[in-house]
């Protein structure tokens, strides 16, 4: 079912992260974390969860980039604007994480999961560029973001995917989930 094979529950027995933290760039000692934000989304795309409106007048707003001119409408109709529900620019994320670092930030947990465009390679690039340690999330988000075959998956299938993300890496990369 997955692009990698998982050998079952017993395979986890030899994998022990007790007393350590797994970041996208590798395992570290918890004392290296520093100030930590525990639920962030550096790179995410939730636009597939929100269909474009059918009304002609609303379509323009749905496709507008977020700007000072429409920020008031965004505050009231946040999910009716595709640009407002996605963060996809690694360079912007690097700039923003560097600001966090300037003010004492040492690490963060990116809770973006399967189905809302988790980007293991992008998170690794951000961590390398900023020196901020990033712990990547695993698992699935809400029903509307699940893969088409989710109803055919067993608990063991879901568990296997999560275990692979933690033990082998996400999406055929060496970057592993830590939560």
For 10-32, the pLDDT digits (tens) are: 555 556 888 999 999 999 999 99
List beta partners, residue 26: 23
* In a shared domain, residues 79 and 163: no
CATH of the domain at 179: 3.20.20.140
* In a shared domain, residues 124 and 104: yes
List beta partners, residue 45: 86
User: What b-and-e string marks burial along 144-169, b requiring 16 or more CB atoms within 10 Å of the CB?
Assistant: ebeeeeeeebeeeeebbbbbbbbbeb
pTM equals 0.88
* In a shared domain, residues 79 and 129: no
Q: At residue 176, does pLDDT exceed 80? A: yes
* Residues spanned by the domain of 174: 1-43+88-179
Give 79-104 pLDDT, tens digit per residue: 999 999 999 999 999 999 999 999 99
* In a shared domain, residues 116 and 176: yes
* In a shared domain, residues 61 and 2: no
């Amino acid at each position: 079912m997955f692009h990698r094979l998982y050998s079952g529950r017993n395979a986890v027995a030899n994998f022990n992260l007790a007393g350590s933290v797994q970041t996208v760039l590798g395992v570290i000692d918890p004392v290296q974390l520093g100030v930590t934000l525990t639920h962030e989304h550096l790179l995410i795309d939730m636009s597939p969860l929100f269909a474009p409106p059918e009304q002609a007048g609303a379509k323009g707003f749905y496709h507008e980039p977020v700007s000072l001119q429409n920020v008031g409408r965004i505050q009231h109709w946040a999910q009716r604007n595709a640009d407002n529900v996605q963060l996809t620019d690694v360079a912007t994320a690097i700039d923003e994480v560097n600001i966090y670092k300037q003010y004492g930030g040492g690490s963060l947990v990116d809770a973006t999961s399967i189905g809302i465009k988790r980007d293991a390679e992008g998170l690794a690039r951000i961590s390398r560029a900023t020196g901020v340690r990033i712990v990547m999330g695993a698992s699935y988000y809400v029903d509307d973001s699940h893969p088409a075959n989710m109803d055919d998956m067993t608990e063991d299938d879901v568990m296997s995917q999560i275990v692979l993300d933690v033990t082998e890496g996400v999406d055929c990369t060496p970057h592993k989930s830590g939560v």
